[in-house]
Amino acid sequence: MSVRRALPFVIVALLAAQIGVFTAARGVAPGGAEVVPGVAPTPAAARALAFGDDQFLYRVMALRLTTAGDWDGRIVPLRDMHYPNIVAWLRAIEALDPVSDLVPALAVHYFAQSQDPAQVAQVVGFLRGHGIHDPDRKWRWLAHAVFLARHRADDLPLALDLARELAALPAANMPVWARQMPAFVLDAMGEREAADLVMGAILATEPDLSPAEAAFMLRYLEEGKQQGGADGGLRP
């Protein structure tokens, strides 16, 4: 048989072999076993990878982190992810665009949804750093950190520290409820008297309180007095 006549059979045989390779490879996931690469890029390495367009790399890496564990034929629960790696990557990506809210949103609305308080606490640590570097724009992420520390990480002392940092931020457009956060956390810690002191100080010093806000704070203080610091009353 000439080579020319044999060629169709060779092609069919090779196509069959290709289907065999495809079948054998179906269960094989690309990449290594790690959900997120173990070493986040340094700022210099990230700059090299960006090829002069930091914003493009920021968005690509943020999407890559969004789909971590779920994009190569696996579904990895958050509890099985290595959070120190994830926080390192969040910080590396954040450095490429400190203005955008994509990475903190990813931290709050995805990675902080873990049911493991220790993992949530690590995300809170990231948000703490993110929230304080540009108070006017980023204060809300520190407010998220307070919520997460209190309700998800079950770490009231940490929540109180964060709430005090939040209340002290020099953010002109921050609403009064953010400055009330220490009072709410103190209340949750059973320190109603201290909470009333914080609330009273805000009421006395905040210049532009709306009537509704002032009425809420007055009622809060009144109820505190009536209950003598007992549990209950107005709280978020």
Partner 1 sequence: MGIFLRFPILGLVVLTALRDRLFAALGVLLAVAMGGAVLFGGAALVEQGETAVVLAAGAARLVLAVGLVTFVATQVQRLYDSREIEVLLARPLGRPRLVAGLAGGMAVVAVLPAVAVALALAPFAPSLAGWAAWAVTLAAEVVIVVLFTLAAALVLERAVTATLAGLAFYAAARLMTFILGVVEARSRFAVGGLGGEIMGWVVTAVGAIVPRLDLFAHSGWLVHGITDPAPLLIAGAQLAVAAPLLIAVAALDLSRKRF
Taking the complex as a whole, how short is the minimal distance between the CB of residue 201 and partner 1, in angstroms? 35
Question: Which of 43-51, 87-95, 112-120, 122-130 is the region at the interface with partner 1 (rule: CB under 8 A)?
Answer: 43-51
Count CB-CB contacts under 10 A for residue 206.
14
Interaction pattern, residues 75-104, with partner 1; x per rule: CB under 8 A: ----------------------x-xxxx--
* Residue 131 · residue 166 · CB < 8 Å: yes
Query: Is 56 or 177 the residue whose CB approaches partner 1 more closely?
Result: 56
Q: Can you tell me the distance from the alpha carbon of 129 to that of 109, in angstroms, rounded to the nearest whole number?
A: 17
**CA-closest candidate to residue 181, choices 198, 157, 200:** 198
Question: According to DSSP H, which parts of 26-153 are helical?
Answer: 43-50, 54-66, 83-94, 102-109, 117-132, 135-147
Q: Can you tell me the distance from the alpha carbon of 114 to that of 54, in angstroms, rounded to the nearest whole number?
A: 29
Near partner 1 in 105-124, by CB under 8 A: 105-106, 109-110
* CA triple 73-78-79, angle to 5 deg: 120
Query: Is 97 or 116 the residue whose CB approaches partner 1 more closely?
Result: 97
Size of the site for partner 1 (CB under 8 A): 25
Task: Figure out which of the listed residues 67, 80, 212, 228 binds partner 1, where binding follows CB under 8 A.
Answer: 67
Interaction pattern, residues 44-63, with partner 1; x per rule: CB under 8 A: x--xx--xxxxxx-xxx-xx
Taking the complex as a whole, how short is the minimal distance between the CB of residue 149 and partner 1, in angstroms? 21
Q: Which residues contact 101 (CB under 8 A, 6 or more apart)?
A: 141
Query: Is 46 or 188 the residue whose CB approaches partner 1 more closely?
Result: 46
143 binds partner 1 (CB under 8 A): no
C-alpha distances in Å from residue 150, one per residue of 29, 102, 146, 211: 38, 23, 6, 29
Query: Is 58 or 220 the residue whose CB approaches partner 1 more closely?
Result: 58
List residues near partner 1 by CB under 8 A: 44, 47-48, 51-56, 58-60, 62-63, 66-67, 97, 99-102, 105-106, 109-110
